[in-house]
Amino acid sequence: MFNNVASSTDKINAGLICGARPVAKAKAGGVYKLQCVGADGQVKWEEELHNLVVNQGLQSMVAVYLDAATQITTWYIGLITGPGSGTTIAAGDTLASHAGWTEFTDYSGTRKTAVFGTATTADPSVIDNSGSPASFSITGAGGTVAGAFLCSVTSGTSGTLFSAADFQSPGDRVVVSGDTLNVTYTFSLDAA
């Protein structure tokens, strides 16, 4: 007599992917364009610098738009010098504390007002001061310019530092009395 034995096994595997939801991000960034014009009216050099929007600048944007902080309505462009070839911009920099750089001040007057145009409605939204670049008339012996920054005060260290940038290659640039340094800042906010 035959005895049939059958065996069967069922296996079921299941998986669940959690947290698959849309994430909104925004990327903020800017570019400083510096143009040095000599006393003879000829362009001596031009340079574009990608900036770092520092922590204080990011916090200011968020606080104004989402936490009803007071809006800063006037911004100023300043110039950066060394401490030499190792100029460093850091996320934690403020006007009162920025160990990697110092302010260049061998020009007439104070920091220059950034007169921005109208922001574009595209993605990214872009705004700049190309219609009225900040113009610095170099005085005294001149010196070495290492970059530029955007802040909320015409002088001093008590305001908000928004962003800063330094020359990468070929490095710092020499300016002399009689030169004019024109600075344009372009800022964009992108839904990344």
Model confidence over 73-85: pLDDT tens digits?
999 999 999 766 5
Give the 3-state secondary structure of residue 59: helix
Sign of the torsion formed by the C-alpha atoms of 58, 167, 156 and 100? positive
Quick count: other Cβ atoms within 10 Å of Cβ 118?
A: 7
pLDDT mean over 36-58: 95
| Model-wide pTM > 0.75 | yes
Reported confidence tier of residue 2, pLDDT bands at 50, 70, 90: very low
* pLDDT on residue 129: 97
Reported confidence tier of residue 20, pLDDT bands at 50, 70, 90: low
Structural contact between residues 185 and 119, judged by C-beta atoms closer than 8 angstroms: no
Q: Alpha-carbon distance 157 to 27, whole Å?
A: 27
pLDDT mean over 132-155: 94
**37: Cβ–Cβ under 8 A, 6 or more apart, which residues?**
43, 44, 179, 180, 181, 182
* pLDDT on residue 68: 87
Q: Look at residues 40, 2, 23, 46 and name the one whose alpha carbon lies nearest to residue 183.
A: 46
